[in-house]
Amino acid sequence: MRIIAKSSLYCLVILAGCRPESPKEQPAAAPQPAAQDQWKTHEDKFIRFQYPPDYIVASAIDDSKNKTWMVGRPNENTPGIPDIMGALSVDGFYDGKETRPLGDVLTNDHWGSHKPITKVRQFSPKNGECLMLLTEGGSFGGCADSYGKPKDAPSCAETHFNMRCYDGAKNYYRIGSALGRYEKSRPTGSVQDNLKTVERILASLEFK
């Protein structure tokens, strides 16, 4: 299986058979947000984005004035904090310490047991420039066999969305999402649904 759509931010290679993009293709521009009936809007002095009506947004700021946003489904075990699976997290760094080209940042990131499964793609939200890719690796939990017994790595896999950005003032952003867990080579519908939601949120992303 594969998903290749001009409106998508990238090609989801975990659905086997995705062809690499031609080197002649133009960088992906920010797609226009689809009609988002009843979607909510989060806006502050740093960023603006839309999100589904059943999602919540949590944010925090540290001593260095760096900020984190997390948008996702509510988790009854952590009131006020979204469930990590399928949630989109945005870390904004305003201390000026990260100045490397985005290509160097992404190339030198440490993915742990995960490995990139897509080519690096460009994305251009309003007032920003980004690079992104997907990684896949083993997951210790979340999959089950036909008897309900949990499966561990390498039988169980997990896919992450990863994006690194600079806004117009050269503030650095690290954006990511754990899209879901599934049996190796058998992505579930929830992974694709989470991907579509992440794409719609990012399509509305604006840096201030």
d(CA 73, CA 184): 25
- Which pLDDT does position 187 carry in this prediction? 54
Residue 105 one-letter amino acid: V
d(CA 197, CA 37): 13
- Which pLDDT does position 195 carry in this prediction? 85
Q: Can you read off the two tokens belonging to residue 151?
A: 């499966």
- Which pLDDT does position 2 carry in this prediction? 30
Q: Which of 90, 159, 103 is nearest to 132 (CA)?
A: 103
Query: Which residue positions in the chain have pLDDT lower than 50?
Result: 1-36, 146
Task: Tell me the whole-structure pTM to 2 decimals.
Answer: 0.75
**For the chain, which domains are there?**
43-207 (3.40.1000)
- Which pLDDT does position 198 carry in this prediction? 92
